[in-house]
Structure 1
Amino acid sequence: MPKQVIVQSSIEAVEIIDTPIPTPQHDQIVIKVIVSGTNPKDWKYPVWTGNPQNSGDDIAGIIHSVGKDVYEFKPGDRVGALHEFFTPDGSFAEYAVTRDYATFHLPPHVSFEEAATVPLAALTAAIALYADMKLPPPYYPVKSLAEGGERIPLLIYGVTSAVGAFAAKLARLSGLSPIIGISGRAGDYAKTLVDYVVDYRNGEDELVAAVEEVLAKEGLGNKIHYVLDAISENGSLEATLRFLAPEGTVSTVLPTKLFARDKENFKWPSSTKSFNSAIPLVFSTHKDFGYLWSRYIARMLEDGRLKGHPYEVIPGGLNGVLTGLQNLKNGKASAVKYVYRIEDTKNVPNQGVTGKLGTEEQESKDQPAEKAHPLRNFPFSS
Protein backbone atom coordinates (compact mmCIF):
# COMPACT_ATOMS: atom_id res chain seq x y z
CA MET A 1 0.00 0.00 0.00
CA PRO A 2 1.25 3.58 -0.69
CA LYS A 3 2.93 5.38 2.16
CA GLN A 4 3.05 8.88 3.59
CA VAL A 5 5.01 10.64 6.31
CA ILE A 6 3.37 12.09 9.42
CA VAL A 7 5.67 14.67 11.02
CA GLN A 8 5.51 14.70 14.81
CA SER A 9 5.21 18.03 16.61
CA SER A 10 8.54 17.42 18.36
CA ILE A 11 10.39 17.22 14.99
CA GLU A 12 12.30 14.39 16.63
CA ALA A 13 10.41 11.63 14.85
CA VAL A 14 8.11 10.91 11.96
CA GLU A 15 5.72 8.07 11.38
CA ILE A 16 5.56 6.47 7.95
CA ILE A 17 2.14 4.95 7.51
CA ASP A 18 0.20 3.02 4.88
CA THR A 19 -2.39 5.19 3.15
CA PRO A 20 -4.85 4.27 0.38
CA ILE A 21 -4.60 6.26 -2.84
CA PRO A 22 -6.93 9.26 -2.37
CA THR A 23 -10.04 9.73 -4.47
CA PRO A 24 -10.23 13.24 -5.98
CA GLN A 25 -13.31 15.36 -5.34
CA HIS A 26 -14.65 18.00 -7.72
CA ASP A 27 -11.65 20.26 -8.54
CA GLN A 28 -9.06 18.09 -6.85
CA ILE A 29 -6.14 16.34 -8.54
CA VAL A 30 -4.35 13.28 -7.19
CA ILE A 31 -0.68 13.27 -8.12
CA LYS A 32 1.79 10.40 -7.97
CA VAL A 33 4.62 12.27 -6.30
CA ILE A 34 7.97 11.91 -8.02
CA VAL A 35 9.76 14.62 -6.01
CA SER A 36 8.61 16.51 -2.93
CA GLY A 37 10.08 19.85 -1.93
CA THR A 38 10.60 21.12 1.60
CA ASN A 39 10.05 24.54 3.15
CA PRO A 40 10.81 25.95 6.61
CA LYS A 41 7.09 25.92 7.39
CA ASP A 42 7.12 22.13 7.01
CA TRP A 43 8.82 21.77 10.39
CA LYS A 44 7.39 24.93 11.93
CA TYR A 45 3.71 24.15 11.42
CA PRO A 46 3.71 20.81 13.28
CA VAL A 47 5.53 22.57 16.13
CA TRP A 48 3.34 25.68 16.15
CA THR A 49 0.04 23.84 15.90
CA GLY A 50 1.01 20.90 18.08
CA ASN A 51 -0.62 18.73 15.45
CA PRO A 52 1.25 15.81 13.81
CA GLN A 53 0.68 16.09 10.08
CA ASN A 54 1.93 15.44 6.58
CA SER A 55 3.19 19.01 6.29
CA GLY A 56 4.73 18.84 2.81
CA ASP A 57 3.22 21.18 0.23
CA ASP A 58 5.55 21.33 -2.80
CA ILE A 59 4.58 18.61 -5.29
CA ALA A 60 6.18 17.54 -8.56
CA GLY A 61 4.91 14.42 -10.25
CA ILE A 62 2.50 12.72 -12.64
CA ILE A 63 -1.27 13.01 -12.43
CA HIS A 64 -2.93 9.81 -11.28
CA SER A 65 -6.58 10.92 -11.33
CA VAL A 66 -8.72 14.04 -11.45
CA GLY A 67 -12.05 15.16 -10.00
CA LYS A 68 -15.16 15.52 -12.13
CA ASP A 69 -14.79 19.30 -12.49
CA VAL A 70 -11.20 19.23 -13.72
CA TYR A 71 -10.82 19.89 -17.46
CA GLU A 72 -7.31 21.29 -17.98
CA PHE A 73 -5.43 18.27 -16.68
CA LYS A 74 -5.57 14.52 -17.26
CA PRO A 75 -3.91 11.37 -15.91
CA GLY A 76 -0.34 11.07 -17.15
CA ASP A 77 0.39 14.81 -17.25
CA ARG A 78 3.67 16.01 -15.73
CA VAL A 79 2.82 18.75 -13.23
CA GLY A 80 3.98 20.88 -10.36
CA ALA A 81 1.49 21.85 -7.67
CA LEU A 82 0.93 23.40 -4.28
CA HIS A 83 -0.85 21.25 -1.70
CA GLU A 84 -3.61 22.97 0.26
CA PHE A 85 -2.37 23.85 3.73
CA PHE A 86 -3.80 22.04 6.77
CA THR A 87 -5.54 19.37 4.68
CA PRO A 88 -4.73 15.65 4.38
CA ASP A 89 -2.53 14.06 1.72
CA GLY A 90 0.42 16.44 1.58
CA SER A 91 3.53 16.01 -0.55
CA PHE A 92 5.50 13.79 1.86
CA ALA A 93 3.84 10.78 0.30
CA GLU A 94 3.62 8.54 -2.71
CA TYR A 95 0.32 10.19 -3.66
CA ALA A 96 -0.70 13.77 -2.84
CA VAL A 97 -3.79 15.91 -3.42
CA THR A 98 -4.03 19.45 -4.74
CA ARG A 99 -6.55 21.76 -6.41
CA ASP A 100 -6.62 22.37 -10.15
CA TYR A 101 -6.10 26.11 -9.72
CA ALA A 102 -2.85 25.50 -7.78
CA THR A 103 -1.42 23.13 -10.43
CA PHE A 104 0.68 23.83 -13.50
CA HIS A 105 1.99 21.77 -16.42
CA LEU A 106 5.73 21.09 -16.48
CA PRO A 107 7.63 21.92 -19.67
CA PRO A 108 9.56 18.86 -20.95
CA HIS A 109 12.97 20.32 -20.08
CA VAL A 110 12.07 21.11 -16.44
CA SER A 111 13.04 18.27 -14.11
CA PHE A 112 10.85 17.11 -11.26
CA GLU A 113 13.61 18.16 -8.87
CA GLU A 114 13.61 21.73 -10.17
CA ALA A 115 9.81 21.82 -10.27
CA ALA A 116 9.58 20.80 -6.61
CA THR A 117 11.36 24.02 -5.62
CA VAL A 118 8.83 26.27 -7.31
CA PRO A 119 5.17 26.22 -6.14
CA LEU A 120 5.11 27.62 -2.61
CA ALA A 121 8.02 30.04 -2.93
CA ALA A 122 7.18 31.42 -6.37
CA LEU A 123 3.50 31.90 -5.57
CA THR A 124 4.31 33.56 -2.24
CA ALA A 125 6.68 35.96 -3.98
CA ALA A 126 4.05 36.73 -6.62
CA ILE A 127 1.37 37.41 -4.00
CA ALA A 128 3.70 39.77 -2.15
CA LEU A 129 4.88 41.74 -5.17
CA TYR A 130 1.78 41.84 -7.31
CA ALA A 131 -1.37 41.08 -5.31
CA ASP A 132 -0.37 42.99 -2.20
CA MET A 133 2.24 45.62 -3.07
CA LYS A 134 0.68 46.18 -6.51
CA LEU A 135 4.04 46.45 -8.27
CA PRO A 136 4.15 46.21 -12.09
CA PRO A 137 4.08 42.54 -13.19
CA PRO A 138 6.46 41.12 -15.82
CA TYR A 139 3.79 41.36 -18.52
CA TYR A 140 3.53 45.15 -17.86
CA PRO A 141 7.13 45.91 -16.89
CA VAL A 142 8.42 49.29 -15.76
CA LYS A 143 9.49 51.51 -18.63
CA SER A 144 13.16 52.36 -18.71
CA LEU A 145 14.33 55.90 -18.02
CA ALA A 146 15.11 56.25 -21.73
CA GLU A 147 11.48 55.39 -22.46
CA GLY A 148 10.22 58.03 -20.08
CA GLY A 149 9.69 55.67 -17.17
CA GLU A 150 10.85 55.92 -13.59
CA ARG A 151 12.87 53.67 -11.32
CA ILE A 152 11.06 51.61 -8.70
CA PRO A 153 13.55 50.34 -6.11
CA LEU A 154 12.85 47.19 -4.09
CA LEU A 155 14.56 45.78 -1.02
CA ILE A 156 14.28 42.06 -0.24
CA TYR A 157 15.22 40.94 3.26
CA GLY A 158 16.33 37.31 3.03
CA VAL A 159 17.00 37.40 -0.71
CA THR A 160 18.62 33.95 -0.84
CA SER A 161 15.65 32.23 0.80
CA ALA A 162 13.47 30.55 -1.81
CA VAL A 163 10.75 33.21 -1.49
CA GLY A 164 13.31 36.01 -1.59
CA ALA A 165 15.13 34.56 -4.59
CA PHE A 166 11.94 34.10 -6.61
CA ALA A 167 10.92 37.65 -5.68
CA ALA A 168 14.25 38.94 -6.99
CA LYS A 169 13.86 36.99 -10.24
CA LEU A 170 10.33 38.27 -10.76
CA ALA A 171 11.33 41.82 -9.83
CA ARG A 172 14.02 41.75 -12.52
CA LEU A 173 11.44 40.63 -15.07
CA SER A 174 9.23 43.50 -13.91
CA GLY A 175 12.00 46.02 -14.51
CA LEU A 176 12.31 47.09 -10.88
CA SER A 177 15.59 48.84 -10.09
CA PRO A 178 17.73 48.97 -8.12
CA ILE A 179 17.06 45.73 -6.25
CA ILE A 180 18.76 45.52 -2.86
CA GLY A 181 19.10 42.13 -1.21
CA ILE A 182 19.87 41.46 2.43
CA SER A 183 21.69 38.20 2.90
CA GLY A 184 24.22 36.37 5.05
CA ARG A 185 26.50 33.46 4.27
CA ALA A 186 25.02 32.94 0.79
CA GLY A 187 26.29 36.31 -0.40
CA ASP A 188 27.75 34.93 -3.63
CA TYR A 189 24.37 33.58 -4.70
CA ALA A 190 22.73 36.85 -3.68
CA LYS A 191 25.01 38.73 -6.08
CA THR A 192 23.51 36.78 -8.98
CA LEU A 193 20.03 37.97 -8.03
CA VAL A 194 20.21 41.66 -7.15
CA ASP A 195 22.07 44.90 -7.79
CA TYR A 196 23.34 45.36 -4.25
CA VAL A 197 23.93 42.89 -1.44
CA VAL A 198 23.93 43.93 2.22
CA ASP A 199 25.14 41.51 4.91
CA TYR A 200 22.91 41.42 7.99
CA ARG A 201 25.56 39.67 10.09
CA ASN A 202 27.34 42.94 10.85
CA GLY A 203 24.51 43.99 13.16
CA GLU A 204 21.37 46.09 12.78
CA ASP A 205 23.09 49.51 12.89
CA GLU A 206 25.57 48.52 10.19
CA LEU A 207 22.78 46.96 8.14
CA VAL A 208 20.66 50.12 8.22
CA ALA A 209 23.67 52.32 7.45
CA ALA A 210 24.60 50.13 4.46
CA VAL A 211 21.07 50.30 3.04
CA GLU A 212 21.00 54.07 3.44
CA GLU A 213 24.40 54.30 1.74
CA VAL A 214 23.13 52.38 -1.27
CA LEU A 215 20.04 54.57 -1.53
CA ALA A 216 22.11 57.73 -1.29
CA LYS A 217 24.49 56.45 -3.97
CA GLU A 218 21.52 55.87 -6.26
CA GLY A 219 20.11 59.33 -5.54
CA LEU A 220 17.09 57.90 -3.75
CA GLY A 221 17.37 59.62 -0.37
CA ASN A 222 17.85 57.39 2.67
CA LYS A 223 14.54 55.52 2.90
CA ILE A 224 13.02 52.91 0.62
CA HIS A 225 9.38 52.64 -0.39
CA TYR A 226 9.00 48.93 -1.18
CA VAL A 227 10.25 46.13 1.06
CA LEU A 228 9.58 42.41 0.98
CA ASP A 229 10.67 40.78 4.23
CA ALA A 230 11.03 37.11 3.34
CA ILE A 231 12.24 36.32 6.87
CA SER A 232 9.87 38.26 9.16
CA GLU A 233 11.43 37.16 12.45
CA ASN A 234 14.65 37.29 14.46
CA GLY A 235 14.96 41.07 14.15
CA SER A 236 14.26 41.54 10.45
CA LEU A 237 11.00 43.38 11.15
CA GLU A 238 12.68 45.85 13.49
CA ALA A 239 15.51 46.54 11.03
CA THR A 240 13.02 47.04 8.20
CA LEU A 241 11.15 49.60 10.26
CA ARG A 242 14.27 51.77 10.32
CA PHE A 243 14.89 52.02 6.57
CA LEU A 244 11.30 51.83 5.28
CA ALA A 245 9.80 55.16 4.26
CA PRO A 246 6.86 56.14 6.51
CA GLU A 247 4.57 56.19 3.48
CA GLY A 248 6.14 53.03 2.08
CA THR A 249 4.76 49.56 1.43
CA VAL A 250 5.98 46.43 3.19
CA SER A 251 5.10 42.77 2.76
CA THR A 252 5.97 40.11 5.31
CA VAL A 253 5.73 36.33 5.08
CA LEU A 254 4.82 36.01 8.77
CA PRO A 255 2.38 38.11 10.82
CA THR A 256 4.14 40.87 12.76
CA LYS A 257 1.89 40.53 15.79
CA LEU A 258 3.26 37.03 16.31
CA PHE A 259 6.90 37.41 15.26
CA ALA A 260 8.07 40.89 16.23
CA ARG A 261 10.43 40.99 19.20
CA ASP A 262 8.01 43.22 21.09
CA LYS A 263 4.79 41.62 19.89
CA GLU A 264 2.50 43.87 21.92
CA ASN A 265 3.97 47.20 20.83
CA PHE A 266 5.48 46.70 17.38
CA LYS A 267 3.62 48.57 14.66
CA TRP A 268 4.25 50.16 11.32
CA PRO A 269 3.63 53.91 10.86
CA SER A 270 -0.01 54.70 10.22
CA SER A 271 0.91 55.94 6.74
CA THR A 272 2.58 52.62 5.82
CA LYS A 273 0.80 50.01 3.75
CA SER A 274 1.60 46.64 5.30
CA PHE A 275 0.64 43.14 4.22
CA ASN A 276 1.12 39.63 5.54
CA SER A 277 1.50 37.87 2.19
CA ALA A 278 0.43 34.43 3.37
CA ILE A 279 0.38 31.60 0.85
CA PRO A 280 -2.74 29.92 2.40
CA LEU A 281 -4.70 32.78 0.80
CA VAL A 282 -4.29 30.99 -2.55
CA PHE A 283 -6.93 28.57 -1.28
CA SER A 284 -9.35 31.22 -0.02
CA THR A 285 -9.41 34.88 -1.11
CA HIS A 286 -6.74 34.52 -3.83
CA LYS A 287 -7.99 31.54 -5.84
CA ASP A 288 -8.10 33.46 -9.12
CA PHE A 289 -4.63 34.83 -8.48
CA GLY A 290 -3.37 31.31 -7.83
CA TYR A 291 -5.00 30.07 -11.03
CA LEU A 292 -3.52 32.81 -13.21
CA TRP A 293 -0.06 32.75 -11.70
CA SER A 294 0.25 28.97 -11.70
CA ARG A 295 -0.20 29.04 -15.42
CA TYR A 296 2.02 32.07 -15.91
CA ILE A 297 4.78 30.40 -13.90
CA ALA A 298 4.57 27.42 -16.26
CA ARG A 299 4.93 29.74 -19.24
CA MET A 300 8.01 31.46 -17.76
CA LEU A 301 9.57 28.10 -16.92
CA GLU A 302 8.92 26.95 -20.49
CA ASP A 303 10.65 29.90 -22.17
CA GLY A 304 13.47 30.10 -19.63
CA ARG A 305 12.64 33.46 -18.11
CA LEU A 306 12.18 31.78 -14.74
CA LYS A 307 14.21 28.97 -13.23
CA GLY A 308 13.83 27.01 -10.02
CA HIS A 309 15.78 27.42 -6.80
CA PRO A 310 19.08 25.60 -6.12
CA TYR A 311 18.31 22.25 -4.52
CA GLU A 312 19.89 19.36 -2.69
CA VAL A 313 18.47 15.84 -2.91
CA ILE A 314 18.21 14.27 0.54
CA PRO A 315 18.88 10.51 0.18
CA GLY A 316 16.30 7.90 1.12
CA GLY A 317 13.08 9.34 -0.24
CA LEU A 318 10.47 9.40 2.51
CA ASN A 319 13.13 8.07 4.86
CA GLY A 320 15.00 11.35 4.41
CA VAL A 321 12.16 13.71 5.36
CA LEU A 322 13.12 13.83 9.02
CA THR A 323 16.74 14.60 8.15
CA GLY A 324 15.70 17.45 5.86
CA LEU A 325 13.33 18.98 8.40
CA GLN A 326 15.90 18.78 11.18
CA ASN A 327 18.51 20.38 8.93
CA LEU A 328 16.10 23.23 8.26
CA LYS A 329 15.30 23.61 11.94
CA ASN A 330 19.02 23.68 12.80
CA GLY A 331 19.77 26.33 10.19
CA LYS A 332 21.95 24.15 7.99
CA ALA A 333 20.29 25.11 4.71
CA SER A 334 21.70 28.13 2.90
CA ALA A 335 20.36 29.22 -0.48
CA VAL A 336 19.17 25.69 -1.11
CA LYS A 337 15.94 23.72 -1.03
CA TYR A 338 15.87 20.15 0.18
CA VAL A 339 13.98 17.77 -2.09
CA TYR A 340 13.13 14.07 -1.83
CA ARG A 341 12.88 11.57 -4.68
CA ILE A 342 10.03 9.37 -3.56
CA GLU A 343 11.21 6.37 -5.57
CA ASP A 344 14.33 6.28 -3.37
CA THR A 345 12.16 5.06 -0.49
CA LYS A 346 13.09 1.41 0.05
CA ASN A 347 11.56 -0.96 2.61
CA VAL A 348 10.45 1.94 4.79
CA PRO A 349 10.55 1.21 8.53
CA ASN A 350 8.13 2.80 10.96
CA GLN A 351 10.06 5.76 12.38
CA GLY A 352 7.87 7.14 15.15
CA VAL A 353 4.98 6.79 17.52
CA THR A 354 1.91 4.80 16.62
CA GLY A 355 -1.71 5.71 16.94
CA LYS A 356 -4.36 7.73 15.14
CA LEU A 357 -2.62 10.91 14.12
CA GLY A 358 -4.18 14.18 13.09
CA THR A 359 -7.39 13.61 15.03
CA GLU A 360 -8.62 15.97 17.70
CA GLU A 361 -8.18 13.20 20.25
CA GLN A 362 -4.51 12.66 19.39
CA GLU A 363 -3.91 16.40 19.09
CA SER A 364 -5.19 17.01 22.57
CA LYS A 365 -2.82 14.34 23.88
CA ASP A 366 0.18 15.83 22.10
CA GLN A 367 -0.48 19.45 23.03
CA PRO A 368 -3.61 21.05 24.50
CA ALA A 369 -5.24 23.45 22.06
CA GLU A 370 -4.88 26.39 24.44
CA LYS A 371 -1.10 25.91 24.44
CA ALA A 372 -0.72 25.61 20.70
CA HIS A 373 1.10 28.31 18.74
CA PRO A 374 -1.17 31.28 17.92
CA LEU A 375 -0.57 30.77 14.20
CA ARG A 376 -2.82 27.74 14.52
CA ASN A 377 -5.92 29.95 14.30
CA PHE A 378 -4.35 33.16 13.01
CA PRO A 379 -6.82 35.17 10.88
CA PHE A 380 -4.67 35.83 7.80
CA SER A 381 -5.72 39.15 6.32
CA SER A 382 -6.85 39.36 2.72
Structure 2
Amino acid sequence: MHKPEYLSCEKAASLSVGLATVAQVLYAIMKPPLPSLDIPANSSPTLLVYGGSSATEAVGAPITHIVDCLGNEESATFCSKILAPAGGHYHSIKVPVPEPFKRLRPEESVVATTALGYTMFGERFEFPGVAELPADPVMEEFAKKWVLVGEKLVQTGQIQPHPVEIRGGGLVGVLEGLREIRTQGPRGKKIVYSQE
Protein backbone atom coordinates (compact mmCIF):
# COMPACT_ATOMS: atom_id res chain seq x y z
CA MET A 1 0.00 0.00 0.00
CA HIS A 2 1.09 3.57 -0.55
CA LYS A 3 1.36 5.76 2.54
CA PRO A 4 -1.03 8.74 2.42
CA GLU A 5 0.59 12.13 2.95
CA TYR A 6 -1.53 12.88 6.03
CA LEU A 7 -0.04 9.92 7.96
CA SER A 8 3.43 9.93 9.48
CA CYS A 9 5.64 6.92 8.76
CA GLU A 10 5.20 5.79 12.38
CA LYS A 11 1.41 5.90 12.21
CA ALA A 12 1.38 4.17 8.84
CA ALA A 13 3.66 1.42 10.24
CA SER A 14 1.16 0.81 13.03
CA LEU A 15 -1.57 -0.15 10.54
CA SER A 16 0.05 -3.06 8.74
CA VAL A 17 -0.53 -6.20 10.82
CA GLY A 18 -3.83 -5.09 12.31
CA LEU A 19 -5.25 -4.09 8.96
CA ALA A 20 -4.22 -7.40 7.39
CA THR A 21 -5.70 -9.37 10.30
CA VAL A 22 -9.00 -7.49 10.11
CA ALA A 23 -9.20 -8.05 6.38
CA GLN A 24 -8.42 -11.75 6.64
CA VAL A 25 -10.85 -12.44 9.48
CA LEU A 26 -13.77 -10.27 8.47
CA TYR A 27 -13.65 -10.49 4.69
CA ALA A 28 -11.75 -13.65 3.69
CA ILE A 29 -13.06 -15.93 6.44
CA MET A 30 -16.41 -14.50 7.61
CA LYS A 31 -17.14 -13.49 3.99
CA PRO A 32 -19.31 -10.36 3.93
CA PRO A 33 -18.79 -8.27 0.76
CA LEU A 34 -15.62 -6.16 0.71
CA PRO A 35 -16.22 -2.56 1.79
CA SER A 36 -16.60 -0.01 -0.96
CA LEU A 37 -16.34 3.76 -1.19
CA ASP A 38 -19.21 3.83 -3.69
CA ILE A 39 -21.81 1.47 -2.23
CA PRO A 40 -23.56 2.24 1.08
CA ALA A 41 -23.05 -0.35 3.80
CA ASN A 42 -25.73 -3.04 3.97
CA SER A 43 -27.12 -4.33 7.20
CA SER A 44 -24.45 -6.54 8.66
CA PRO A 45 -24.37 -9.17 11.38
CA THR A 46 -23.82 -8.20 14.98
CA LEU A 47 -20.08 -8.50 15.60
CA LEU A 48 -18.19 -8.52 18.88
CA VAL A 49 -14.43 -8.04 18.84
CA TYR A 50 -13.36 -9.41 22.21
CA GLY A 51 -10.05 -8.17 23.53
CA GLY A 52 -10.41 -9.05 27.19
CA SER A 53 -11.26 -5.60 28.47
CA SER A 54 -14.94 -5.64 27.53
CA ALA A 55 -16.95 -5.15 30.69
CA THR A 56 -20.47 -5.02 29.27
CA GLU A 57 -22.10 -5.85 25.98
CA ALA A 58 -25.31 -3.97 25.28
CA VAL A 59 -26.66 -4.82 21.86
CA GLY A 60 -30.14 -4.90 20.43
CA ALA A 61 -29.63 -8.14 18.52
CA PRO A 62 -28.03 -11.51 19.23
CA ILE A 63 -24.28 -11.59 18.68
CA THR A 64 -23.79 -13.76 15.63
CA HIS A 65 -20.10 -13.10 14.89
CA ILE A 66 -17.22 -12.95 17.37
CA VAL A 67 -13.53 -12.25 16.83
CA ASP A 68 -11.60 -13.44 19.89
CA CYS A 69 -8.35 -11.46 20.05
CA LEU A 70 -6.99 -13.50 22.95
CA GLY A 71 -7.78 -17.09 21.97
CA ASN A 72 -7.24 -18.51 25.44
CA GLU A 73 -9.42 -20.69 27.71
CA GLU A 74 -11.00 -17.75 29.52
CA SER A 75 -11.85 -15.74 26.42
CA ALA A 76 -13.13 -18.80 24.53
CA THR A 77 -15.39 -19.73 27.44
CA PHE A 78 -16.74 -16.16 27.63
CA CYS A 79 -17.34 -16.04 23.88
CA SER A 80 -19.10 -19.41 23.85
CA LYS A 81 -21.67 -18.04 26.30
CA ILE A 82 -22.46 -14.84 24.41
CA LEU A 83 -22.62 -16.22 20.87
CA ALA A 84 -26.29 -16.32 19.82
CA PRO A 85 -28.14 -19.46 20.94
CA ALA A 86 -29.08 -20.11 17.30
CA GLY A 87 -25.40 -20.21 16.36
CA GLY A 88 -22.99 -18.03 14.46
CA HIS A 89 -19.32 -17.62 13.64
CA TYR A 90 -16.50 -17.58 16.22
CA HIS A 91 -12.96 -16.78 15.12
CA SER A 92 -9.87 -17.06 17.31
CA ILE A 93 -6.81 -15.15 16.21
CA LYS A 94 -4.69 -17.82 17.91
CA VAL A 95 -4.19 -21.25 16.39
CA PRO A 96 -5.78 -23.71 17.09
CA VAL A 97 -9.40 -22.93 18.03
CA PRO A 98 -9.43 -23.18 21.85
CA GLU A 99 -10.77 -26.49 23.19
CA PRO A 100 -13.25 -24.85 25.62
CA PHE A 101 -15.07 -23.20 22.74
CA LYS A 102 -15.31 -26.42 20.73
CA ARG A 103 -16.53 -28.29 23.80
CA LEU A 104 -19.12 -25.69 24.85
CA ARG A 105 -20.47 -24.92 21.35
CA PRO A 106 -20.37 -28.16 19.32
CA GLU A 107 -23.57 -27.44 17.35
CA GLU A 108 -23.54 -27.62 13.57
CA SER A 109 -24.95 -24.07 13.50
CA VAL A 110 -21.70 -22.77 15.02
CA VAL A 111 -18.67 -22.19 12.82
CA ALA A 112 -15.33 -21.95 14.64
CA THR A 113 -12.30 -20.80 12.65
CA THR A 114 -8.76 -19.60 13.07
CA ALA A 115 -6.09 -18.45 10.65
CA LEU A 116 -2.63 -16.97 10.51
CA GLY A 117 -1.98 -13.78 8.58
CA TYR A 118 1.20 -15.28 7.13
CA THR A 119 -0.93 -17.24 4.67
CA MET A 120 -1.75 -13.97 2.87
CA PHE A 121 1.80 -13.98 1.46
CA GLY A 122 1.05 -17.11 -0.56
CA GLU A 123 4.17 -18.86 0.77
CA ARG A 124 4.76 -21.97 2.84
CA PHE A 125 5.62 -21.32 6.50
CA GLU A 126 7.02 -23.62 9.13
CA PHE A 127 7.08 -23.04 12.86
CA PRO A 128 9.42 -25.81 14.11
CA GLY A 129 7.71 -28.03 16.65
CA VAL A 130 4.40 -26.14 16.29
CA ALA A 131 2.91 -26.09 12.81
CA GLU A 132 3.58 -26.22 9.10
CA LEU A 133 1.43 -24.09 6.82
CA PRO A 134 1.31 -24.88 3.11
CA ALA A 135 1.15 -22.07 0.56
CA ASP A 136 -2.43 -20.83 0.23
CA PRO A 137 -3.09 -19.43 -3.26
CA VAL A 138 -6.71 -18.52 -2.36
CA MET A 139 -5.58 -16.37 0.57
CA GLU A 140 -2.85 -14.83 -1.58
CA GLU A 141 -5.43 -13.80 -4.22
CA PHE A 142 -7.64 -12.34 -1.50
CA ALA A 143 -4.68 -10.31 -0.19
CA LYS A 144 -4.06 -8.84 -3.64
CA LYS A 145 -7.70 -7.67 -3.84
CA TRP A 146 -7.71 -6.39 -0.27
CA VAL A 147 -4.61 -4.23 -0.75
CA LEU A 148 -6.43 -2.18 -3.38
CA VAL A 149 -9.56 -1.77 -1.24
CA GLY A 150 -7.65 -1.15 1.99
CA GLU A 151 -5.40 1.45 0.38
CA LYS A 152 -8.42 3.48 -0.76
CA LEU A 153 -9.98 3.28 2.70
CA VAL A 154 -6.75 4.51 4.32
CA GLN A 155 -6.18 7.22 1.68
CA THR A 156 -9.66 8.65 2.25
CA GLY A 157 -9.33 8.54 6.05
CA GLN A 158 -12.05 5.92 6.51
CA ILE A 159 -9.50 3.72 8.26
CA GLN A 160 -7.44 5.46 10.93
CA PRO A 161 -4.63 4.10 13.10
CA HIS A 162 -4.89 3.71 16.85
CA PRO A 163 -3.07 6.32 18.92
CA VAL A 164 0.67 5.76 18.53
CA GLU A 165 3.43 6.08 21.12
CA ILE A 166 6.84 6.46 19.49
CA ARG A 167 9.80 5.11 21.44
CA GLY A 168 13.50 4.93 20.71
CA GLY A 169 15.76 1.97 21.17
CA GLY A 170 15.32 0.10 17.90
CA LEU A 171 15.15 -3.68 18.12
CA VAL A 172 16.39 -3.71 21.73
CA GLY A 173 13.44 -1.48 22.59
CA VAL A 174 11.08 -3.93 20.90
CA LEU A 175 12.24 -6.67 23.30
CA GLU A 176 11.47 -4.42 26.26
CA GLY A 177 8.07 -3.64 24.76
CA LEU A 178 7.28 -7.35 24.43
CA ARG A 179 8.11 -7.85 28.12
CA GLU A 180 5.82 -4.94 28.95
CA ILE A 181 2.94 -6.44 26.96
CA ARG A 182 3.32 -9.77 28.75
CA THR A 183 2.83 -7.98 32.07
CA GLN A 184 -0.36 -6.19 31.00
CA GLY A 185 1.50 -3.20 29.61
CA PRO A 186 0.16 -0.48 27.28
CA ARG A 187 -3.47 -0.68 26.23
CA GLY A 188 -5.42 1.20 23.59
CA LYS A 189 -2.36 2.34 21.65
CA LYS A 190 0.31 1.03 19.33
CA ILE A 191 3.97 1.25 20.28
CA VAL A 192 6.33 2.06 17.39
CA TYR A 193 10.10 1.85 17.88
CA SER A 194 12.38 4.16 15.97
CA GLN A 195 15.63 2.79 14.55
CA GLU A 196 17.39 6.06 15.37
Mapped contact 1:130–1:136 kept (Cα < 8 A): yes
Instruction: Give the SS at the match of 1:235.
Output: helix
Instruction: Give the SS at the match of 2:64.
Output: strand
Alignment CA distance shift 1:242-1:264 (3 Å)? closer
Spell out the pairing of 1:234-245 with structure 2 (5 A cutoff). 234-245=73-84
Whole-angstrom distance in 2 between the partners of 1:294 and 1:273: 27
**Partner residue in 1 for 2:41:** 142
**1:119-159: CA deviations, max 9, x gaps?**
1111111111111111233215433xxxxxx453211111x
Mapped contact 2:50–2:68 kept (Cα < 8 A): yes
Mapped contact 1:241–1:268 kept (Cα < 8 A): no
Whole-angstrom distance in 2 between the partners of 1:141 and 1:256: 35
Gaps of 5+ in 1: 1-103, 144-149, 159-182, 185-197, 200-209, 345-382
Spell out the pairing of 1:191-202 with structure 2 (5 A cutoff). 198-199=54-55
- What TM-score do the two structures reach when normalised by structure 2? 0.79
Spell out the pairing of 1:78-93 with structure 2 (5 A cutoff). none
- The AA in structure 1 aligned to 2:189 is V
Instruction: Give the SS at the match of 1:224.
Output: coil
The alignment's C-alpha RMSD in Å is 2.3
Alignment CA distance shift 1:234-1:339 (3 Å)? farther
- What TM-score do the two structures reach when normalised by structure 1? 0.43
The structural deviation recorded for 1:263 is 8.7
Instruction: Give the SS at the match of 1:288.
Output: helix
Whole-angstrom distance in 2 between the partners of 1:264 and 1:109: 44
Mapped contact 1:232–1:252 kept (Cα < 8 A): yes
Gaps of 5+ in 2: 123-135
Whole-angstrom distance in 2 between the partners of 1:157 and 1:249: 13
Structure whose alpha-carbon radius of gyration is higher:
1
- Of 91, 116, 124 in structure 2, the residue corresponding to residue 251 of structure 1 is 91
1:325 aligns with 2:178: yes
**Partner residue in 1 for 2:146:** 293
Alignment CA distance shift 1:264-1:271 (3 Å)? closer
**Comparing both structures, which one devotes a greater share of its residues to strand?**
1
Mapped contact 1:227–1:244 kept (Cα < 8 A): yes
**Partner residue in 1 for 2:108:** 270
Alignment CA distance shift 1:244-1:141 (3 Å)? farther
**Partner residue in 2 for 1:157:** 50
Instruction: Give the SS at the match of 1:333.
Output: coil
How many percent of aligned residue pairs carry the same amino acid?
Answer: 25
- The AA in structure 2 aligned to 1:120 is V
Whole-angstrom distance in 1 between the partners of 2:102 and 2:24: 27
